[in-house]
Amino acid sequence: MSIIRARKESEMGILMSDYQVAAKRTRAYPEYGQGTIGTIAYNALGLSGEAGEVANKVKKLIRDGDTELKRLAIKDELGDCLWYLAMLADELKYNLTEIAEENLEKLAKRKLQGNVRGEGDDR
């Protein structure tokens, strides 16, 4: 049984697949939904840019001190990362829930094998 499906529905909050469907309604970039190299690149670059904004805000948290306001700003940028991740997955014709489940299963397998730490995709 999947790690995600083992939880009670009342504990789940929004499902990742539901987020992905709802987020698609806000797309406004050229050729969205067509799965072209351009739409894939657009979302990959957007995700990279937003991840950079997260990193920059974390840097400022370290430099200038930890405050709730700074943490909220990071949370906002994480939401932007989630949006681009969902759109990138959609342009690649993948379901975000499936990606999340497969990732958790991969991590659980690594933990059982004692390979959570380290480098490389083939641990």
At residue 115, the pLDDT reads 77
Contact 53, 80 (CB under 8 A): yes
Q: List the single range of 3-17, 61-75, 92-106 with lowest mean pLDDT.
A: 3-17
Which stretches within the chain are classed as H helix?
Answer: 16-24, 37-64, 68-91, 96-113
Say how far apart CA 35 and CA 23 lie, in whole Å.
16
- In this predicted structure, what is the pLDDT of residue 100? 95
Question: Mean pLDDT across the chain, nearest whole number?
Answer: 90
10 Å CB burial of residue 84 (0-12, 13-18, 19+) is buried
Residue 1 — very low, low, confident or very high, per pLDDT cuts 50/70/90?
Answer: very low
The domains of the chain are located at 1-13+96-123, 36-92
Instruction: Kindly give, in sequence order, each residue whose CB lies less than 8 Å from that of residue 50, ignoring residues fewer than 6 positions away.
Output: 77, 80, 81, 84
Say yes or no to pLDDT of 37 above 60: yes
φ, ψ (nearest 5 deg) of residue 99: -60, -45
User: What pLDDT shows up at residue 9?
Assistant: 54
Question: Is residue 54 predicted with pLDDT exceeding 70?
Answer: yes
pTM for the structure as a whole: 0.84
pLDDT value, residue 8: 57
Per-residue pLDDT at 67: 98
Q: Stretch 74-82: mean pLDDT, rounded?
A: 98
How far is 6 from 2, CA to CA, in rounded Å? Answer: 6
